Chain A
Amino acid sequence: MIRTILCACLVCLPAIASAGEEAVGAICVLEGPDVQPMKDGLRRIQRPFSVVGKLEAGGLGECRVLVLCGADPPVDENGKKAIEAFLEGGGAVLAVGGGATAMVRQKLFDATTYYFTGTTIHMTVFHGYHRLTFGYPGAKPVEDWKAGVPNLLRATQGPLMGLGPKAISILGYDGAGLYSAAAFQRVGKGLVLMIGPDPQGGNAYYSLDKPTLEPGDKLQTDLLLANAIAFLLDPRASLIPNGGFEANMDLPPEQCNWQVALREGARREWRREGAPEGSGFLRIECPQAQSSGMVEPTCPIVVERGVAHRFTCRYRASIPWTVEFVRFKGSPPAPKRESAPPVSVAASPEWRLFTTDLTVPADVSYPKPVAAMRGQGELCLDDVGLRPIP
């Protein structure tokens, strides 16, 4: 207890750490009404955090991720300035539920808000793959996930967000795509990730995971929190889910994250032996000259506009093949798909690393790498990644 309080005072004055919280950490939770579910969630995913009692300029110390959550976190004018300074300095903000409301209210995020009266459980759709969505929908979706990601998000009374041009949507609701459920935005050197419905809040809805919540329980929505924290602590990791073809490859494309189009007798195979990385790789075999195969992530990838990204993969190919970065312009849920000139890759009988850089155009938020081969031969792919270049 003494150590906890001392460390909290050292790291983020005037932060106040409660008993039980780990005092020093990259993650700080702003105290306020109804933040306990978030604290419980962070404990379940084993992320140490400290608690900030009040936001003041320079008061966030070594904090790297500030969590604004609960019903109504106290973000006043001074708090706004503290957050602005924190973001300018390269910090990251995770704002969920009432935290998202506060960010929009203080004009710290480019969005408008809409609220249903009452609490409801939102089902979301991917506007594209993002670190936040990794692991969803999982091998056993609760229902037909194509109509949404059921139970992915629970709501307190958080906002539905109508995004402005600076923000990029990760998750939406089906229908006309008017609202975003989760979105991010670069602010200075920092990053803001907003999740309107509060995945850890809405304590009336634990029944979706279990009838009653007991210590040590893992909630479906904990993955979302874990993903959010991991993304904000290290935004440079690969944005492509299941890039090593390790999981769920015997399931439909929606669940394994990859779709493969085959023509004229071409076959796909998920091999578990001989992978250069991990325990599996994807092999496409075209038996004749007219055969062709095309591999692409099931959804486009959510990226930061105008930022350089590096595409990498390991490959083995008996004939040349191509990579094309298809671009999606406009707003979800039906952005316009545009082709781009493909990059040709030479054949290689041995496993090789392929790397190419691309700068995402300023009007594109959702590119998608498409690997294609045509003619008799084979193409093996593994460890596919797309990362922002520092």
Chain B
Amino acid sequence: MTNRCQFVVLLIGMCASALTAQGGEPDVHPKALLCDALKRARDLPKGSGYGDWRGTLLLLRIGETMRLHGLRDDAAGALAACREANASSQFPDEVKNEIAAELCRDLTLLGDTAQARRIAKDLKSRSYSGAAWLLIARSLQEAGKADEAEGVIREFLAAMPPEARKDRDNNLWTHGLAELALRMKRPELARSLADSIQSEPWKTGALADIATDLARAGRTDEALKIAGGFSDSFMAASGWARLAAVFAATSSAAPTATALDGLNLAAAKIKTDPERDFALRLAARRLAAAGAGKEAARLAGTVKDPCAAALAQCDLFAVETFDATADAVARCPEGDRDLLWEAMAVMAGRKGMAEQAAKASDRIASAWAGLRARRAVAGELADAGNIGAARQALDAATGLAGKLDAPGWRCCAHIGLAMGYGRIGAKEATDEQLDKAKNEIAQVQEVEAREALLTRLARAMAALDRKPSAKALLTETLQASPRPSLRDALVVLLAEAGETEAALAEQARARLTATLFRRMFMYRVAQSGNPRRALDCMAGLAPIDQAEALADVARARLRSPSPAPWEEKAVGVTLHGGWRAWFPRLERMGVRWELMPFLEPYEAEAEGLRSKYIALGFPGTGDHFAHLSTVGIEHVREYIYSGGGFMGICAGQYLATKGEYVTCDAHGFRGRGPHQVQMRKHHLVSLGLPPVIIISRMNGGMLLPGPGCEVLGWYDKVDRYAALVAEQYGRGRVVAFSPHPEGSSDLVPGDLLCINALNWAMTGLP
């Protein structure tokens, strides 16, 4: 350790000399930048909790950026400094443990697995120790070192004390490792892991993974034998459904019947109707996807709740079942019907049934929901290659935009339609919609709303490759002396849109006021190939921001690593904050979940994130800004804008609002306790939910939505502060919750809200 520290000091000295070697002109070689950042990070004053926290995270990021630049020795030094800082810091244990787990991953990627294992073993918290072992093993597996990964997993198993087997989080990570073992083609290892799990739902989930794997390999008897050990009713129904789907896909009639019997028996044992309905709907969907339409329809027919039954019908939607599905919708409460027609339209579009999609869309009474449905249908049809039908859907939606009352919402509608037309290459229509959007902005009275819409429009123009229009809009707005907050955002957008010279001229005229925007600006300028000019903007930043900016500029010089895409995309829940409640829910939803290292959005750009994750989850507690850094915030934005899903709760909601992924401000308001959230039926996420849901708040901000931001629920009866919002952002979807509905593990309304929200963020349907 001492030698390593001496080495770092020596290295820093050498780097410092390199910086001054060019007569005061900063050396913009990544190594020089990162060494300078490292020196500054180490020189930061110690003792202030938050500063220490940020400083330690910065050391981690510097180490990781050095590794990505191939500076392995330097990276080892930075990670050693991070470990040292983390050990001596005063910030909360959870944060220290998160950083330690993340260090394990980075050390593994650096080739120092031995040290990573030591850290994982020394972690006192089982919750984080398990996470660390999972990250080590996964990193090795992704690096093609399956044997070494197996060794790590066996070490984890051997080191697990008997009492740990009952630990909730330990069961979670053991299940994660079992799933990894299957991906590594190590079924026996997976079985050992599954056997060590004490929690019935997790154990059943792990056994279902193994049984499904065996069934896919044609080992039917073994699969059925393992399935005989399913214990938790809900997870058993889910597991049997997976097996039935595999058998049905391979036309194995007898095993399919056995699996369906198992499914029916398990479903009958599920204690509550909502849970049973949910399990049956999932099962029907799986069977339908496997081509077992008849069995799927039979299962869907047993769903009791009218909304769940109608949704199940939507899942199985076919041309000939339109009327039956329409009947199912008619049996639902009136407030849900518009939303069900919307779901039906989107599903029809997804299945390429343009006529049925149009018919369902026509049944929607609300202009905004109708427009939203047609836009979604157009997107689905365009993805399926049916450009003509997509165009028709968009043209139909265009007529609805004028029916909206408020100019802000009309503007959002036109921006959305422009994105739709842009997707199908309809140039004139795209430009027309962009022009209309611009004209509507002029009608918006409220300053904040106007500003938000301007940035939305400029971003859309840039995304649609209308760079001259974007530049003209941005320049015109900047010339009108906007408020500093808008000016900052617009100058960053100018740089992001590739208009670096114009952006630099603006920054030279008057410095950007907010640190976050200044650092975003520097990153964008560096990305455009001007690192030296990016560094010119560093003056006046606080020491820690200067160090962060140096690392950002070095990161901007990297080409994003291109990880091998995952076969099945996952919902990635970041390793920061209260992730505990997320994984059991995702497991029950039958969705692949992964613990996302909090550095991953910093390392990977939008494309890299999309190759792995269908949606990202940012839980409550903590400070995602500090953990993501400016670069990560921007990468998450690009990820969502290009089609990714995002769900943020509490602190995660702050990321969405302050990061401007949603058109919504958050009003800080500390307090905690149950609120009677007044639900609204304007959005697919609200489908099937009761008018009031009691949800606890843990200091989450009050949300002040702007145009385009759809409120799912309010904190009051006067529609002043929203609690739950959702919004389409570019091609992606964002859900932001101020309170915490994710605490329960039963299918109570708060739980259904989470399921709807996650499903919508992932797929656009609840």
B 381-420 to A, binary, CB cutoff 8 A, 1 in contact else 0: 0000000000000000000000000000000000000000
B483 interface hit (Cβ, 8 Å): no
A 104-126 to B, binary, CB cutoff 8 A, 1 in contact else 0: 00000000001111111111000
Residues of B within 8 A of A362 (CB): none
B676 interface hit (Cβ, 8 Å): yes
Residues of A within 8 A of B692 (CB): 117
A123 near B670 with CB under 8 A, answer yes
A123 near B671 with CB under 8 A, answer yes
In the bound complex, how far is the Cα of B674 from the Cα of A121, in angstroms? Answer: 9
**Chain A interface, number of residues (Cβ within 8 angstroms):** 20
In the bound complex, how far is the Cα of B670 from the Cα of A88, in angstroms? Answer: 37
Residues of A within 8 A of B718 (CB): 114
Contact of B671 among A114, A115, A121 (CB under 8 A): A121
B715 near A117 with CB under 8 A, answer yes
A176 interface hit (Cβ, 8 Å): yes
In the bound complex, how far is the Cα of B698 from the Cα of A121, in angstroms? Answer: 9
Shortest CB distance B720–A (Å)? 7
A253 interface hit (Cβ, 8 Å): no
Q: A114-B716, A117-B715, A118-B694 are in contact. Are A175 and B673 (CB under 8 A)?
A: no
B670 near A148 with CB under 8 A, answer yes
B 12-37 to A, binary, CB cutoff 8 A, 1 in contact else 0: 00000000000000000000000000
Shortest CB distance A37–B (Å)? 16
In the bound complex, how far is the Cα of B675 from the Cα of A150, in angstroms? Answer: 18
B667 interface hit (Cβ, 8 Å): yes
A175 near B674 with CB under 8 A, answer no
Residues of B within 8 A of A (CB): 667-678, 692, 694, 697, 699, 701-702, 714-718, 720-721
Q: Which residue of A lies closest to B692 (CB)?
A: A117
A118 near B676 with CB under 8 A, answer yes
Residues of A within 8 A of B673 (CB): 118-121, 155, 205
A358 interface hit (Cβ, 8 Å): no
Contact of B670 among A115, A116, A174 (CB under 8 A): A174
Shortest CB distance A9–B (Å)? 41
**Can you give 10 contacting A-B residue pairs, CB < 8 Å?**
A114-B720, A117-B675, A117-B678, A117-B692, A117-B714, A117-B716, A121-B673, A122-B670, A173-B670, A174-B668
Residues of B within 8 A of A148 (CB): 670
A147 interface hit (Cβ, 8 Å): yes
B672 near A121 with CB under 8 A, answer yes
Q: A173-B669, A175-B668 are in contact. Are A116 and B674 (CB under 8 A)?
A: no
In the bound complex, how far is the Cα of B668 from the Cα of A97, in angstroms? Answer: 22
B671 near A175 with CB under 8 A, answer no
Residues of A within 8 A of B675 (CB): 116-118, 120
Residues of A within 8 A of B668 (CB): 174-176
Shortest CB distance B249–A (Å)? 48
Q: Which residue of A lies closest to B699 (CB)?
A: A123
In the bound complex, how far is the Cα of B714 from the Cα of A94, in angstroms? Answer: 31
Residues of A within 8 A of B (CB): 114-123, 147-148, 150, 155, 173-176, 178, 205
Shortest CB distance B439–A (Å)? 32
Residues of A within 8 A of B670 (CB): 122-123, 147-148, 150, 173-174
Q: A114-B720, A115-B716 are in contact. Are A120 and B667 (CB under 8 A)?
A: no
Shortest CB distance B465–A (Å)? 39
Q: Which residue of A lies closest to B670 (CB)?
A: A123
Shortest CB distance A66–B (Å)? 28
In the bound complex, how far is the Cα of B694 from the Cα of A116, in angstroms? Answer: 12
Shortest CB distance B741–A (Å)? 13
In the bound complex, how far is the Cα of B694 from the Cα of A115, in angstroms? Answer: 15
Starting from the known contacts A115-B716, A120-B672, A176-B668, 5 additional A-B residue pairs (CB-CB under 8 Å) come to A116-B675, A116-B716, A118-B675, A123-B671, A123-B672
Query: In the complex, how many residue pairs between chain A and chain B have their CB atoms under 8 Å apart?
Result: 61
In the bound complex, how far is the Cα of B720 from the Cα of A175, in angstroms? Answer: 15
A117, A147, A148: residue with the most chain B Cβ atoms closer than 10 Å: A117
Shortest CB distance B580–A (Å)? 20
B694, B699, B721: residue with the most chain A Cβ atoms closer than 10 Å: B699
Residues of A within 8 A of B676 (CB): 117-118
Residues of A within 8 A of B701 (CB): 175
In the bound complex, how far is the Cα of B677 from the Cα of A147, in angstroms? Answer: 25
In the bound complex, how far is the Cα of B721 from the Cα of A175, in angstroms? Answer: 13
In the bound complex, how far is the Cα of B720 from the Cα of A3, in angstroms? Answer: 52
Residues of A within 8 A of B694 (CB): 118
Residues of A within 8 A of B714 (CB): 117
Shortest CB distance A136–B (Å)? 15
A173 near B720 with CB under 8 A, answer no
Shortest CB distance A208–B (Å)? 9
Shortest CB distance A175–B (Å)? 4
Shortest CB distance B665–A (Å)? 10
In the bound complex, how far is the Cα of B670 from the Cα of A150, in angstroms? Answer: 9
Residues of A within 8 A of B667 (CB): 175-176, 178
Residues of A within 8 A of B720 (CB): 114
In the bound complex, how far is the Cα of B720 from the Cα of A114, in angstroms? Answer: 9
B717 near A117 with CB under 8 A, answer yes
B669, B692, B721: residue with the most chain A Cβ atoms closer than 10 Å: B669
B677 near A117 with CB under 8 A, answer yes
In the bound complex, how far is the Cα of B670 from the Cα of A119, in angstroms? Answer: 14
A120 near B716 with CB under 8 A, answer no
In the bound complex, how far is the Cα of B694 from the Cα of A119, in angstroms? Answer: 10
Q: Which residue of B lies closest to A181 (CB)?
A: B671
In the bound complex, how far is the Cα of B702 from the Cα of A122, in angstroms? Answer: 13
In the bound complex, how far is the Cα of B756 from the Cα of A153, in angstroms? Answer: 35
Residues of B within 8 A of A120 (CB): 671-675, 697
In the bound complex, how far is the Cα of B673 from the Cα of A117, in angstroms? Answer: 11
A119 near B674 with CB under 8 A, answer yes
In the bound complex, how far is the Cα of B671 from the Cα of A119, in angstroms? Answer: 10
Residues of B within 8 A of A123 (CB): 670-672, 699
Residues of A within 8 A of B671 (CB): 120-123, 155, 173
CB-CB nearest 3 A-B residue pairs: A120-B673, A118-B676, A123-B670
In the bound complex, how far is the Cα of B702 from the Cα of A178, in angstroms? Answer: 12
Residues of B within 8 A of A114 (CB): 716, 718, 720
Q: Which residue of A lies closest to B701 (CB)?
A: A175
In the bound complex, how far is the Cα of B596 from the Cα of A351, in angstroms? Answer: 65
B674, B678, B718, B721: residue with the most chain A Cβ atoms closer than 10 Å: B674
Q: Which residue of A lies closest to B49 (CB)?
A: A144
A174 near B669 with CB under 8 A, answer yes
Residues of B within 8 A of A116 (CB): 675, 715-716, 721
In the bound complex, how far is the Cα of B73 from the Cα of A316, in angstroms? Answer: 62
In the bound complex, how far is the Cα of B671 from the Cα of A148, in angstroms? Answer: 9
Q: Which residue of B lies closest to A122 (CB)?
A: B671
In the bound complex, how far is the Cα of B668 from the Cα of A123, in angstroms? Answer: 11
In the bound complex, how far is the Cα of B717 from the Cα of A116, in angstroms? Answer: 8
In the bound complex, how far is the Cα of B675 from the Cα of A123, in angstroms? Answer: 15
Residues of B within 8 A of A176 (CB): 667-668
Residues of A within 8 A of B717 (CB): 115, 117
In the bound complex, how far is the Cα of B668 from the Cα of A148, in angstroms? Answer: 11
A115, A118, A147, A205: residue with the most chain B Cβ atoms closer than 10 Å: A118
In the bound complex, how far is the Cα of B720 from the Cα of A155, in angstroms? Answer: 19
Q: Which residue of B lies closest to A119 (CB)?
A: B673
In the bound complex, how far is the Cα of B676 from the Cα of A178, in angstroms? Answer: 22
Q: Which residue of B lies closest to A178 (CB)?
A: B667
Residues of A within 8 A of B678 (CB): 117
Shortest CB distance A200–B (Å)? 16
Shortest CB distance B686–A (Å)? 17
B714, B715, B717: residue with the most chain A Cβ atoms closer than 10 Å: B715
Residues of B within 8 A of A175 (CB): 667-669, 701-702
In the bound complex, how far is the Cα of B285 from the Cα of A205, in angstroms? Answer: 43
Shortest CB distance A331–B (Å)? 15
Q: Which residue of A lies closest to B721 (CB)?
A: A116
Residues of A within 8 A of B674 (CB): 118-120
Residues of B within 8 A of A115 (CB): 716-717
In the bound complex, how far is the Cα of B672 from the Cα of A147, in angstroms? Answer: 13
Q: Which residue of A lies closest to B675 (CB)?
A: A118
In the bound complex, how far is the Cα of B671 from the Cα of A173, in angstroms? Answer: 9
Residues of A within 8 A of B669 (CB): 173-175
In the bound complex, how far is the Cα of B676 from the Cα of A184, in angstroms? Answer: 29
